[in-house]
Structure 1
Amino acid sequence: MSELNKIMNAISMEALDAIPTPIFFKDKDGFFSGWNRAFAEFCGLTSYSAELGGSLGIYAEEDRKLLHEGGNVIVETFVTRADGKQRNVLLHKAGFVKNNGQTYSGLVGTMIDVTELRSAEKKADYLAHYDRLTELPNLVLFQDRLNTEIIHARRHDEHLAVFAIDIDHFKKVNNVFGHDLGDSLLKVVARRITETIREEDTAARFGGDSFTLLLRNIRYEEDAAIIAKKIHESISQPFLLDDQEVFISVSIGIALYPLDGDDVQTLIKNSDVALHRAKERGRRTHLFFTPEMNFRAAEQMKLQNSLRRALDRDEFIIHYQPQYDAESGRMIGVEALLRWQHPELGMVYPGQFIPLAEHIGLIVPIGEWVLRTACQDARAWNEGNKNSIRVAVNLSPRQFQQPDLYEKICQIIDETGVDPAWLGLEITESAVMQNVDYAICVLTDLKKLGIHLSVDDFGTGYSSLSYLKRFPIDLLKIDRSFITDIPKDSDDIAIVSAVVSMAHNLNLKVLAEGVETLEQKDFLHSICCDEFQGFYFSRPVAAKQIFQ
């Protein structure tokens, strides 16, 4: 019988060793009494008789309960192997009986290594709550922390501040330096913002160039304003991208708890509303939320919804402002100026809706409608008229960058039957300087059609003479901001005189817009400015009034 037991034990041991899962046994005192090969290999044991030490040899409290009451249990713990490496394991243990069948005489258990699983879960949890690029909390974690802090502040009568932060014109950084260096800039911005706040505060990134702050125990606006100024100062320091110094700025919107909201969504929304108002104010600034901003935001949303339907409802009209030859005084052209005849608000001027149209992506179809309508009016005026006039149409920067711009203009010319010589296109400095080679190519093709080309608002952008002379343009329009204080402002006099002289040296004509007084007209005439436009001569009028 003893020999048979040995044979059976040997067979049992071979069977256990064939199982890839680590299996172990403990005696009634809770000490290891046996294990299979998988267990030995996992723990780094050299033989079945090896001593088990470290965390594996510890008598667990759950073992005592199993030996007295039976049953089974699953526990997760850390195990230090013989080589010193710590692993995360899942132990499934059960009590067993032998001999009399009544007394629990030992434990049997399995062990599963869950180290990689827990590591993957931890990584997934991190990615669910942190921004991968900057390693700052993301929206999910920020909202959770803000909710926790609101509860704490409510109980202890404390105040909080929520900052919404955007980098001004960040898209230009990506366009110039590429997305990789743009990401590098975001990392540095995140670090600088974090360095301006306390450890108890939270800086988060919601994506793109949008950051958000949660500041604890901010009782007064002045406290929040101090931190906002520190952020402006930190961000204003130069950044080094591709061995070039780059200067940027940020806009900040601030909402305070409980003044501007007492829940997570309201505080985030109101800080964002204040941020957009800061951008409208010219950026590079910070603004605190006010209830009036919500009203304005609601009005903007209402205007946006109306704008989306304005084209289909034929609510746009064009007024034309005449342009005059300085020598003869004859009207030689008009500029097409878009107006929106809103059914409820009445006449809406471009400054109120053009930025909105650009923001929601309607500027291109609206621009095409203006061009088509102006071409139709130009043909109606000029057919059979010996003294034809030119109709100048503004192309928005986004419209100018459209890859099918040339084809679209040719299509409109064919559809309307307008003589290209009757058409003028005005492009801003910033539009042509975004991609100089592209601009030269497009302008050259348009020039070949016979279209008159102008650079609008000259002096307000950043074009250089070396580029200007390469553009196939006919005319420079001096921005009205340089005309307003003439002839009182000596600086404006010097600038306008220099532009006229420079343009003539490049064989370009010059038009001054915003001429409103006789003194302005006389001065511009004295320095040989070629063309005039402004209220002194005529306000913008409807198409049917041009020749009245």
Structure 2
Amino acid sequence: MPVKTKQGRKRWFNVYEDTIVFQGDFAGLSLVIDITSEVRHKKFIKVLKEINHLLIESYSEGELFDKVVKTLVKVLELKGAWIGEVDELTKKVKPILYYPETLSFINRLDPYLFSLENQTLSFYKAFHEKRINIIPDVEKYHHPKEVSEILKALNVRSVCSVPIMKGKRVSYILVLWADEPNFFTEEYFELLEELKNNLSFALKKIDLFLRIQIFNDFIKQSGDMLIIADVDGKLEYLNPVAFHELEFEEDPFEVNIFKLLGITSEEINQVLKGLNTIKKIISLSSTKKRSFLEIKLTLVKFADYKKVIILGKNLTKEIIFEIEKQKMLTQDLLTGLLNYQGFAQKTTDLLQVVKEGILVLLDIYNFSYINHFYGLEAGDKVLTTVAQRLKESFPNALISRPVGDSFSLFLIDYEKKDVYNLIKKIQEIFTLPIEVKQGKRGFLEFQGGIVFYPEDGSSFIEIWRKANVLLSEVKKKGPNIIEIFNPYVEKHVENIFFVENLVKKAIQEHLFVFYYQPYFTSDLEVAGLEALVRIKADGKVFNPGDFIDYLENSPYLKDFEEISIDKNLETLVKIQKPVSINISSKSLETMHIFEILSKKVDLLKNIPCCLGIEITEHALATNLEKANKLLRMLKFYRINISIDDFGTGYSSLHYLKDLPIDFIKIDQSFVRDFLRDKKTFFILETIIKLAKKLNIKTIAEGVENKEQFEVLKELGCDYFQGFLFAKPMPEEECFEYLKKFKKPNL
């Protein structure tokens, strides 16, 4: 029977009573045996048995913890129990489950009471030492005041904290509360330790179960094949994807999977010896379809067992797409001919095996006229007709439509002496009437260039470049002309190659330098600088006229303009005056300039004065609406915008009215002539007055004498630039000039 001692401890006794004769009289005999240890031991054993059953039945941590806590409280007759999850980031224990429900207040307690850094808390040692911690009598233990009050209110007299491990880490802590002191005695420590180990094992089992479930679901739902076979190729498992992809005509488990997949005995031996993982792409054909599979064979060993794992992926769509992509990359979709990439690749390959050949580049003259008057469909029809004629006339040639209305041929069955017959054949193709539209026939005109391999070049790139330069020269001469590469063109090509190499070298070796020409106020103070690019290479200085045309049409333009902006922002900060740079219209069209400026927003917003960008009238004239948008985007970066060479052919009152322009640079041709030509004078006067009305500043370029300066000043021109004041100067010379600046003595 249970008895409670004065100290509040429960004891269990067996009591035996009988009547005996004692000293001649009948007397009662009571025999009391303390069985507390045995009872508690049985209860712990019962708990462990029930928990072991729970380990088998539970498939989630929440389910397991819920049942374990309730079992412990009910069987051991505890005041309560709760489980907390360890948060290593905050170094706290977060209660996740408790029993009975009267312990719900735990979730509302100050988080400080669950700190893993508070050494007075019962679970501190359990976490840090990873072992069970017992407080035999809470009244003799120095808990925080709030904890002591809670335990006293609940009549909790002893506490046990059990760390629950995941691997080597304490993930949870189980806290048990009993209503009597010394409830968790050392004699039960082994049973508590077993409880700890069982719970840790259960977490490991649940984690493994979840992983297996996830893996099984993945295998079933995955788009990839999974096959398991023995070392002889006999199937032991295949997932639904593998079953679907392989389309077995008989029982799959009667099939040798190695033979079906075309795996050689040599490959199998490599896998079985553990020498290699085999990865290959195979093609499988059936009456219904043909498919491409990527398979990977790996050996898995476990004890004495060896299994071959085959992972597979259907690559049919990818391979078909790749074939089509290659076709698109190398073939012109309209005509079925090669495009430039395909032509370049095949010609390059051919040059490895042939001794000589002829490259012909052809262009339909005024083809845009056909598109404009008859429509794009008619233009496409003309192109396909010409392509068909070329294929029929030159069946052994490589033929391409590299771009637009151009065609190229590479022939190996013509010798140089046959070039006249080649030209006649090309002329016949273009002089035959062609149906432009239903019921409408016309005649085409063409232009062409012929280059010989290896006489004119030893590589495809070389002969292709020369053919293009030759065709450019032919286009200047008119229609129905086809020319053979000659010394004049050779010299022109050499110059192009020289400029190309010069620009490339300047980019790679930082050979761009800037000269600066000041512009002045009417009081002859320096108002700002214009940056003028040069290339300094091999002891020479190359002016823009030597390379700017190539640079503006080259892939190096973006790199150059980034160099220009970086360098001239640096100069601006150094001299504390505005600096203007020239920008190509192509940079605006391709948005390269905005890509560059966006990297320098912070600097642009904090510099002492604005960076200036000079744009030619031609860049604005092509598309006024687009130009307006682009220039307004530039203003976002605190950029001053100047119209360069104003009045040289594209001037429009519309862009003066609509565009956010800060400066007009009056072209030097006006400045040179206005004193001796009345019409030029009146135009110049009108420009200056109009700019004043529109709040646009004017800069006169090319001022060379005092009389020009005085009259321009009288007309109201704002700024002046020219040799009268200062010539363009190298960077250091310009800095020295500004440092020791004296007003020009006119």
Is the CA contact 1:354–1:363 (under 8 Å) kept in the aligned structure 2? no
CA distance in 1, matches of 2:490, 2:508: 29
Contact 2:361–2:471 (Cα < 8 Å) also in 1: no
Which aligned pairs between 1:179-328 and structure 2 lie closer than 5 A? Answer: 185=379, 206-209=401-404, 210-211=406-407, 254=449, 273=466, 276=469, 279=472, 289-325=485-521, 327-328=522-523
Aligned-pair CA distance for 1:438 = 4.2
Q: Which SS does the other structure have where 2:659 is aligned?
A: coil
Q: Which residue of 1 aligns with 2:529?
A: 334
Partner amino acid for 2:534? Answer: R
2:704 corresponds in structure 1 to 516
Counterpart contact for 1:270–1:289, Cα < 8 Å: no
Give the superposition deviation at 1:366. 0.8
Residue 405 of structure 1 and its aligned partner are, at CA, apart by 3.8
Counterpart residue number, 1:377: 571
Question: TM-score w.r.t. structure 2 length?
Answer: 0.40
Match of 1:224 in 2: none
Normalised to the residue count of structure 1, the TM-score between the two structures is 0.52
Measured in 2, the distance between the counterparts of 1:528 and 1:460 equals 21
Q: Distance in 2 between matches of 1:169 and 1:337?
A: 38
Task: Report what 2:547 is aligned to.
Answer: 353
Return the alpha-carbon distance in structure 2 between the equivalents of residues 364 and 446 of structure 1.
16
Q: Is this contact kept in 1: 2:337–2:387, CA < 8 A?
A: no
Partner of 2:629: 441
The separation in 2 between residues aligned to 1:373 and 1:491, in whole angstroms, is: 41
Classify 1:417/1:267 alpha carbon distance in 2 versus 1 (closer, same or farther; 3 Å): closer
The C-alpha deviation readout for 1:38-77, integer Å capped at 9, x for no partner, is: xxxxxxxxxxxxxxxxxxxxxxxxxxxxxxxxxxxxxxxx
Q: For residues 492 and 476 of structure 1, what CA distance do their matches in structure 2 show?
A: 17
Residues 307 and 264 of structure 1: CA distance in aligned 2, closer, same or farther (over 3 Å)? closer
Equivalent residue letter for 2:568: A
Cα 1:133–1:450 shift into 2, 3 Å: closer
In 1: Cα distance, 2:401 partner to 2:660 partner: 44
Secondary structure of the residue that 1:539 maps to in structure 2? coil
Task: Write out per-residue CA displacement over residues 245-281 of structure 1, whole angstroms, 9 at most, x where no aligned residue.
Answer: xxxx99x565599xx9989999997796375367589
**1:479-494 counterparts in 2 under 5 A?**
479-488=667-676, 492-494=680-682
Deviations 1:372-409 (A, max 9, x none): 11111111111xxxxxx311112221222344644632
Amino acid at match of 2:496: Q
Matches of 1:520 and 1:169, distance apart in 2? 47
- Residue 548 of structure 2 aligns with an amino acid whose one-letter code is I
Higher RCO, Cα 8 Å, sep 6+: 1
Any residues of structure 2 matched to 1:60-79 within 5 Å, and which? none
- Residues 192 and 206 (structure 1), Cα distance of their counterparts in 2 relative to 1, 3 Å cut: closer
Deviations 1:506-543 (A, max 9, x none): 22122222333445445544543322222332221122
State the one-letter code of the partner of 1:507: N
- Residues 165 and 212, structure 1, Cα contact 8 Å, conserved in 2: yes
Distance (whole Å) between structure 2 residues aligned to residue 458 and residue 406 of structure 1: 24
Q: Report matched runs for 1:368-447 at 5 Å.
A: 368-382=562-576, 389-403=577-591, 405-406=593-594, 408-412=596-600, 414-415=602-603, 419=607, 421-447=609-635
Give the counterpart of 1:363 among 534, 541, 557: 557
Distance 2:562 2:595 in 1: 12
Q: Deviations over 1:180-219 (max 9, x none)?
A: 9667557669999999xxx99x9x87331324699x9xx9
The AA in structure 1 aligned to 2:628 is: I
Distance in 2 (CA, whole Å) between partners of 1:544 and 1:513 is 23
- Does the 8 Å CA contact 1:390/1:422 hold for their aligned counterparts? yes
Letter in 1 for 2:512: F
Quickly say closer, same or farther: Cα 1:162–1:498, change in 2 above 3 A: farther
Gap runs ≥5 in structure 2: 1-327, 348-357, 418-435, 438-444, 742-746
Per the alignment, in what secondary structure is the counterpart of residue 535 of structure 2? Answer: strand
Secondary structure at the residue paired with 2:703?
coil
Q: Report if aligned partners of 1:318, 1:337 keep a CA contact under 8 Å in 2.
A: yes
Distance 1:502 1:277, change over 3 A: farther
SS where residue 615 of structure 2 aligns?
strand
Q: Spell out, residue by residue over 1:97-128, the C-alpha distance to the aligned partner (whole angstroms, 9 max, x if none).
A: xxxxxxxxxxxxxxxxxxxxxxxxxxxxxx9x
Tell me if structure 2 keeps the 8 A contact 1:319–1:339.
Answer: yes
CA distance in 2, matches of 1:333, 1:168: 48
Partner residue, 1:468 = 656
CA distance in structure 2 between the aligned counterparts of 1:193 and 1:524, rounded to whole angstroms: 61
Which structure 1 residue ranges, 5 or more long, are not aligned? 1-126, 144-160, 220-238, 241-248, 383-388
CA 1:266–1:380: 2 relative to 1, 3 Å:
closer
1:479: Cα distance to partner? 3.0
After superposition, the Cα gap between the structure-2 partners of 1:425 and 1:490, relative to the gap in structure 1 and judged at 3 Å, is: same
Please tell me the residue identity of whatever aligns with 1:506. L
Q: Structure 1 residue 449: deviation in Å?
A: 4.7
The 1:449/1:271 distance shift into structure 2, 3 A limit, reads closer
Q: Which amino acid aligns with 1:276?
A: V
Structure 2: distance between partners of 1:538 and 1:480: 15
Counterpart secondary structure, 1:368: helix
SS of equivalent residue, structure 1 residue 401: helix
2:361–2:409 contact (8 Å) kept in structure 1:
yes
Distance in 2 (alpha carbons) for counterparts of 1:541 and 1:489: 32
Over 3 Å counting, the alpha-carbon distance change for 1:482 and 1:277 in structure 2 is farther
Structure of greater Rg: 2
2:723 is paired with a residue of what secondary structure?
Answer: coil
Structure 1: which amino acid aligns with 2:701? Answer: E
Which residue number corresponds to residue 154 of structure 2? none
Check 1:189–1:543 CA distance in 2 against 1; reply closer, same or farther (3 A cut).
Answer: same
